Amino acid sequence: MSHIILQGGARLEGTLPVQGAKNSVLPILAASILHPGRTVLQGCPHLSDVEASIRILRHLGCRADWEGGDLVVDASGIDRWDIPDHLMREMRSSVVFLGSILARMGWAEMSHPGGCELGPRPIDLHLAVLRQLGAGIREEGGCLRCTAQRLEGREITLSMPSVGATENAILAACGAYGETVLLNAAREPEIGDLQDFLCAMGCQVKGAGSSTICIQGRQPTRDVRHTVMPDRIVAATYLAAAAAAGGEVELTQVHPGHLSTVTAALHAAGCQIYSGEGRIVLRSEGRLRSIGTVRTAPYPGFPTDAQAVLMAALLRGHGSTVFVENIFENRYRHVDELCRMGADIRVADRVAVVTGVPCLCGASVRCTDLRGGAALLVAGAAAQGETRIGDIFHIQRGYQDPVGDLRQLGARIETG
């Protein structure tokens, strides 16, 4: 499968369960090595980033296998503390293994990570946190060599609420002596899911969801069976697609509260939205209206990962919408591809102004990154004619079966 081919114009109708969250399962897989035992992850999505994490686990000496719909990890045989360059380059999230390897093994060696090119995303904050816990870190030729014969808990204030640095700090602190208090921590729901997993394993972590997280260092003692939380960005993508194409879609296995800023924006654009326990229903006539200014921000603000799909939903909206990207410097790479479909978007630095057009036309486009690829699916669902999307390996990093999901909702979509 090298392309996705989408015939636009079909209204989207039906019910769809939402997959497990990529941004939750990746740090949980890193956390699984803290306990020399067995982890069973239910609802783990089949993604290329998950497969990259599995390859890292196996390299470290773990067993990691799919058993039906569950991913089972046995970390009792871990005997390495290095991650080779070719595995690190597969995804940026691989850096989250640093804290857990140090906590379990006392040593870690890896190169700088790869992933989507969204501008500078330095890992300096990760390294600063680990150094404050007592890790010795040398950087030589793009390689990180870390030692942590004794990590010590302490109070740490993050200079910004970085999700990755928060996760690395929590994982390393689980192997530290004494209590670690993490201030200005990221508040994303995925960190709450990581906390639930660690507590089930026997760690003592509390405060996730707030800006202060407390970790009492201790050896985890229990095997774990854990269900991965639903993916709020995948849910946002399918809501945006229904908003753009028109129709009525019900998403199940979701946490509506995690999507409040996204659903508020779609409601402001003219959609009818109803939510209940574990479900969201969206109705749209397909021609939306502008909504003023959308500013991305750390949770509970508007998520940067949903910026591209909301932009795609508003391409045919009446009036103009301003997007301000406050998280990443280079997160408008999808704009040129959307303009190939007839979109009117002007970009200056971190600001993009979207002026609605009467219609979009299908075109041959390519994914520039994970969320930019999702935006092309949204735009293609609303466009007239055929949209042919290339470089879909980006989409496969975060969406388990986008073709099957959209087809289930009535989209005319296939692979080629």
Q: Where in the sequence numbering do the catalytic residues fall?
A: 116
End-to-end CA distance of the chain: 6
Q: Listing from the earlier edge strand, what are the strands of the sheet with 344-348?
A: 292-295, 320-324, 351-355, 344-348
Tell which residue, 50, 47, 107, 104, has the closest CA to residue 83: 107
Q: Which residue do the tokens 């996204």 mark?
A: 262
Query: Residue 219: what are its φ and ψ, rounded to 5°?
Result: -75, 120
Q: Residue 115 is encoded by which pair of tokens?
A: 């992933």
Q: Which residue do the tokens 């910004």 mark?
A: 160
**DSSP E strands, 18-154:** 38-42, 63-67, 70-74, 82-83, 107-111, 136-140, 143-147
Contact, 266 vs 251, CB < 8 A?
no
User: CA 75 to CA 56: how far, in whole Å?
Assistant: 12
User: CA 331 to CA 166: how far, in whole Å?
Assistant: 22
DSSP assignment of 184-234: S----HHHHHHHHHHHHHT-EEE-BTBSEEEEE-------EEEEPPB-HHH
User: CA 102 to CA 78: how far, in whole Å?
Assistant: 13
Contact, 172 vs 236, CB < 8 A?
no
DSSP letter (8 states) at residue 19: P
Beta-ladder partners of 13: 248
Q: Residue 297 is encoded by which pair of tokens?
A: 């921000």
| Residue 309 identity (one-letter amino acid) | V
C-alpha Rg value of the chain to the nearest Å:
21
Contacts of the segment 208-214: beta carbons below 8 A, 24+ positions apart: 210/185, 211/161, 211/183, 211/184, 211/185, 211/187, 212/181, 212/182, 212/183, 212/185, 213/166, 213/170, 213/181, 213/182, 213/185, 214/179, 214/180, 214/181, 214/182
